[in-house]
Amino acid sequence: MNISYKDFQALDIRIGEVVEAVVPQWSHWVMKLTVDFGDPPAGGGQRIIFAGIMHYFKSEDLVGKQFPFLVNIEPRKIGPEGDVSEGMMLAADGKLDKPIEVEGEEVWEKPVLLNLAEKLPNGTKIR
């Protein structure tokens, strides 16, 4: 399915820096990221974003690094405690050489995080 350029322009994708990454006690899949999007005029301060990456990355792999995030997606309740995810981390689908077991299932794919070639101000918009 193709989308129009106007539809693409409706996506608000911004660079954010992970300032905290924790696995909630209830989680079996997601990490809770606190992400800095800069000053409110630039991107909107800090947001909580949940990402299904806990089986592939540790907190120290993420904290202090910048990644692209979709920030104008509808907030979504995550987990049993009423937590809300205020965006979506963007990643590519990578292939594993051999499967890993995740909750009793063989998984052949892994998320590949998108790295920037240079540091940008938090909240920078991707066009």
pLDDT exceeds cutoff 70 at 31 = yes
Confidence of residue 4 (pLDDT cuts 50, 70, 90): very high
Q: Is the alpha carbon torsion for 70, 117, 40, 21 positive or negative?
A: positive
- Rounded to whole angstroms, the Cα distance separating 127 from 119 reads 17
What ranges do the domains of the chain cover?
Answer: 12-113
* Maximum distance among all Cα pairs of the chain, rounded to whole angstroms: 45
What local confidence, expressed as pLDDT, does residue 42 receive? 56
The stretch 68-81 carries a mean pLDDT of 94
Q: Which fold has domain 12-113?
A: OB fold (Dihydrolipoamide Acetyltransferase, E2P) (2.40.50)
For strand 66-70 and strand 76-78, is the pairing parallel, antiparallel, or unpaired? unpaired
Neighbours of 110 (CB within 10 A): 17
Give me the chain's average pLDDT, please.
93
- Rounded to whole angstroms, the Cα distance separating 21 from 58 reads 8
